[in-house]
Amino acid sequence: MKYFKNLLIALNLLNIFFISSTSLAQTSRPANIGPEKGHLVIVGGGNVGPEIWARFIELAGGANANIIYVPTAGDDSTITKGDFKTVKKLKELGVKNITVLHTRDAKLANTENFASPIVKATGVWFEGGRQWKIADAFLNTRVQHEFNALLSRGGVIGGTSAGATIQGSYLFRGDTKRNTILAGDHVQGLDFLHNVAIDQHILKRNRQFDLLGFIKTHPDLLGIGIDESTAIVVHQNTFEVIGVSYVAIYDQQQFAGTSKNPSSDSGNTGPFYYLQKGQKFDLQSRQIIAPPITTPAKSIAN
């Protein structure tokens, strides 16, 4: 009798543990992977085309946009010259209010005075370079707090190359020695997009397989690889692909290599797959959002 009582207690404890573990797994992902109110425009480097700029400026308020330009990922020599091509481009596109925000001093970035321009901003743009430089300057500072506040009031944060990767939760290629070290001495991104690792230039630089091995060792993360002149526009749990090339999805559930490629009807199998312009993706369920089925209108005979 005592044996059965002990067995019953053990089974109850096991059941409690299982329920707790299941609940923890179900709550490990936030309600929204992306911003609840704002948007992200995450560009894979290269030439930022008219479609991408137009979307970013539109989300920032169009003619009334107030943009913060962050060149911090770049080289000191380039930043010192102050000859920012992106600032010139934004002005050509009609943006009148642009503020350059840069420092290498995290203590300065943690001050109210330095972060104050972000309070009235409607958009932020991160330039390319080395993503760990952005992390060193702004991670866990007042500036990062104000970036998040901007998203919370419906603003937009965009960036290209390093300015794309910094927006994820994991800082892929964040090593200070060289960018071929995928999991380096900097691993924390600004986390505007939760539970993801972002890579860029994937096809142009033959990087399309680099996230594969990484996600196998980090199965909780979703890998998003973005090619040049291509972007994802993120809001809440959905992103849309814009631009001219492809976005690759790396999900550990796909790694058996036997699943049909869900991005087309080609029947290809493999551990990752591509999305192209116009396609949408659900970040929470990690599934492609199928386009609505349209029924042709019936002609009315006279």
Token representation of residue 196? 């993801």
Are the CB atoms for 117 and 68 separated by under 8 Å? yes
Q: Which stretches in the chain have pLDDT values below 70?
A: 1-29, 256-269, 293-302
* Helix, coil or strand: residue 75: coil
Please compute, for residue 69, the number of CA atoms within 13 A of its CA located in the half-sphere on the CB side.
Answer: 22
Taking the C-alpha atoms of residue 263 and residue 272, their distance in angstroms, rounded to an integer, is 10
pLDDT value for 277: 97
**Domain count for the chain:** 1
The pLDDT tens digits of the residues spanning 146-196 come to: 999 999 999 999 999 999 999 999 999 999 999 999 999 999 999 999 999
Does residue 6 fall inside a structural domain? no
164 neighbors 226 (Cβ within 8 angstroms): yes
What is each CA distance from 165 to 82, 86, 122, in whole angstroms? Answer: 24, 18, 21
Per-residue pLDDT, 63: 85
Residue 198 lies in a domain: yes
What is the reported pTM?
0.86
How far apart, in whole angstroms, are the C-alpha atoms of residue 4 and residue 215?
44
Residue 11 placed within a domain = no
Supply angle C-alpha 198, 204, 208, rounded to 5.
50
- C-beta contacts of 82-90 below 8 A and 24+ residues apart: 84/127, 86/125, 86/127, 89/48, 89/53, 90/53, 90/57, 90/125
Task: Please report whether residue 230 resides in a domain.
Answer: yes
Range of the domain at 117: 32-289
Looking at residue 95, which CATH number applies to its domain? 3.40.50.880
Structure tokens at 43: 């560009």
**CB burial class (10 A; 0-12, 13-18, 19+) of residue 108?**
middle
What pLDDT is stored for residue 266 in this prediction? 42
Residue 110 lies in a domain: yes
Cβ neighbours, 10 Å, residue 251:
18
Q: What is the pLDDT of residue 292?
A: 73
Residue 296 lies in a domain: no
Give the type of residue at 265: D
